[in-house]
Amino acid sequence: MTVTCLPLKKNLYPGFLGSFLILFLSACDAGFSNGDKNGEKDPETIVQELNWKPEALSQSIREKVMEWPKDSSYNPEDTFVVEQELLRLYDQVEFQPFWIKTEGVPHYATDMVAQLADLRYDGLSDSFYNASTLKSMQQSLDPGNAASIANWEIEMSKTFIQASHDLLSGRYFYQKQNKEWKNRNDSMINWKKIFQSSTTAGDFKEVFNQMRPNHRWYRALRNEFIRLDTLRSGFQTLQVTALKDSIPMGFVSPEIVSVRKRLYAEIALPTDTSNQSWTPDLLEALKFFQYRHQIRESVKMDTATIRRLNTNLDEKLRKLALNMERMRWLCHDFQQPFIWVNIPKMDMEYVEKDSIQFAMRVVIGRPGRPTPSLDSKIENIVFSPPWIVPPTIMREEVVPGIARRGGSYLARRGLKAYDRRGRVVNASMINSKNFRSFSIGQAPGYRSSLGEVKFNMPNPWSIYMHDTPHREDFVKFNRAYSSGCVRVHKPKEFAAFLLRDSLKYSYSMIDSICKKRKTIFVPMKRQVNVHFVYLTTSVDSAGNVMFLKDVYNWDARDLKTSGLN
């Protein structure tokens, strides 16, 4: 059996592995290795007795591992290749086996193989791990043939290291293809400790569970994957045909039964699936379906609704698989409190003590100027912020505008041009060749491009959250209009919430400060992390899984580069 060896960019950040090891070492101390406990098997219970020679097996493992070519370009801090990781791992343990004991094959070895099947509910295909091949290799082990045991041992290790890596860091990720993806993964991977603690604990269901992202969204997406996967039989036959956009209450048609059945399969509503009438319970179910699929809640059988109702089940499962993979690219443990902006959902949540304590709509970057996914923290809050035009907007929008209309382009937008000494200059001096020698700014105020409040968050891309004079955008269904930064619906309310420990910054006080149009920087006393993420399946505050519009058309690209397609 060959496990695919994936060259893969890998971020090594502390945070996850510590809790992972503590859990399993404490489990060991609690008595996992001292026989059955509460009906659980001792991890070293022998399930297949073999009379083999330890010295011969270690020598055979050494010979097979040392056959692998030494890749001089391999850098464990930068790339992941299964064979290279295992070569280092076995060298550290003097080529001793992990998956076989003196008496034979222990329970935890067969348990690891058995648990591989459940990884398909994480969107990780059975074909990635070949559990059936491992089973047949185990069943045909020859105690007198150290080479055959070494082959099985190494394939077991390859499979476990690949499965663990896929859960900890994601299956396959290239930054070059995902330039806008700036989030980081926080898994610090030490394979020796992972192997030793996992085989000591023995319960590989819990081993794999602890490797999964510790986020309620991930658990919800996985549960939805399981639920939809159980509906395979018969789901595809529940197709809905076109009905009138506006259907009068009490309207009767046999086609309504197919609508009811499809809705029930999707959202478990309405409970009456045989009624041929258009009734209030059906309207409520249709409205809920539209909400969960990011369709305007028109309660009409419009084209978008029928298309979503007839979406292929495999397509929905692929979407769930992709977004679980994206979550594996993120932090696995989110330090609270944190701000969570899901770009396709176009809203923001403030999470503290495992609950959403503040939420609001946001405006995200338009498709031509997408908001990148990233991790940061709120450094300070700026009241009455001035705006200095960023280089990208200067090059792509302002300079061409000046070329078309001259100084009137700036005047209409309340902008002024400055030279490097800070002196006001005529805009006609600026062109595509010399624009870097000038700056263009806007004075603070209600009509400023940043509005009256700015939330500074350090990052290399000059992305932040801020108020906006275009407050009419927040009532729109589609809110992708910005130049990359995130505009927030209730900036003063949110600033007062973040600064609630100080009596100086109530909402009314902030409003008074902003009216003076004097720029004030207020540092944050508490650490509030910020995560901009791009997930086209999401979870609302009630735990409902939502299927969102792929606003930047990243799904097809990420499916291809992730190897999940």
| pLDDT given for residue 186 in this prediction | 86
| pLDDT given for residue 353 in this prediction | 93
> Among the listed ranges 20-29, 177-186, 296-305, 439-448, which one has the minimum average pLDDT value?
20-29
Residue 35 has pLDDT above 80, yes or no: no
Give tens-digit pLDDT for 425-457. Answer: 999 899 999 999 999 999 998 889 999 999 999
Percentage of the chain modeled with pLDDT above 90: 69
Give tens-digit pLDDT for 292-314. Answer: 999 999 999 999 999 999 998 99
| pLDDT given for residue 76 in this prediction | 59
| pLDDT given for residue 372 in this prediction | 95
Tell me how far the alpha carbon of residue 526 is from its chain's centroid: 25
| pLDDT given for residue 245 in this prediction | 72
Q: How far apart are CA 402 and CA 396, in angstroms?
A: 11
Q: How confident is the model at residue 565 (pLDDT cuts 50, 70, 90)?
A: confident
Q: How confident is the model at residue 237 (pLDDT cuts 50, 70, 90)?
A: low
| pLDDT given for residue 174 in this prediction | 65
Q: How confident is the model at residue 243 (pLDDT cuts 50, 70, 90)?
A: confident
| pLDDT given for residue 144 in this prediction | 86
Q: What distances in angstroms separate CA 148 from CA 1, 100, 357, 443, one per listed residue?
A: 13, 13, 58, 76
Residue 118 has pLDDT above 80, yes or no: yes
Identify which has the larger pLDDT, 237 or 418: 418
Give tens-digit pLDDT for 274-288. Answer: 999 999 999 999 999
| pLDDT given for residue 532 in this prediction | 98
Count the alpha carbons within 13 Å of 472 in the hemisphere toward its beta carbon: 1
Q: How far apart are CA 118 and CA 113, in angstroms?
A: 10
Best CA proximity match to 11, nearest among 189, 163, 212: 189
Give tens-digit pLDDT for 37-77. Answer: 455 667 778 888 877 778 899 999 999 998 887 766 666 55
| pLDDT given for residue 75 in this prediction | 63
Which residue's entry shows tokens 């990359």?
484
- CB neighbours (10 Å) of residue 315? 10
Arithmetic mean of pLDDT over the chain: 88
The span from the first CA to the last CA of the chain, in angstroms, equals 22
**Enclosing H/E stretch for 61:** helix 54-66
Q: Whole-model pTM?
A: 0.88
| pLDDT given for residue 50 in this prediction | 78
| pLDDT given for residue 77 in this prediction | 58
Averaged pLDDT, 123-132: 93
Give 341-358 as a DSSP string: EETTTTEEEEEETTEEEE
Residue 176 has pLDDT above 90, yes or no: no
Q: How confident is the model at residue 1 (pLDDT cuts 50, 70, 90)?
A: very low
Give tens-digit pLDDT for 477-527. Answer: 999 999 999 999 999 999 999 999 988 999 999 999 999 999 999 999 999
Give tens-digit pLDDT for 375-416. Answer: 999 999 999 999 999 888 899 999 999 999 888 899 988 899
Residue 212, both tokens: 């999964």
| pLDDT given for residue 366 in this prediction | 96
Q: Sign of the C-alpha dihedral, residues 432, 436, 440, 441?
A: positive
Domains of the chain and CATH, by start: 16-212 (no CATH), 237-311 (1.10.101.10), 334-386+444-534 (2.40.440.10), 388-442 (no CATH)
| pLDDT given for residue 43 in this prediction | 74
Q: How confident is the model at residue 78 (pLDDT cuts 50, 70, 90)?
A: low
- CB neighbours (10 Å) of residue 542? 5
Q: How far apart are CA 12 and CA 527, in angstroms?
A: 22
| pLDDT given for residue 72 in this prediction | 63
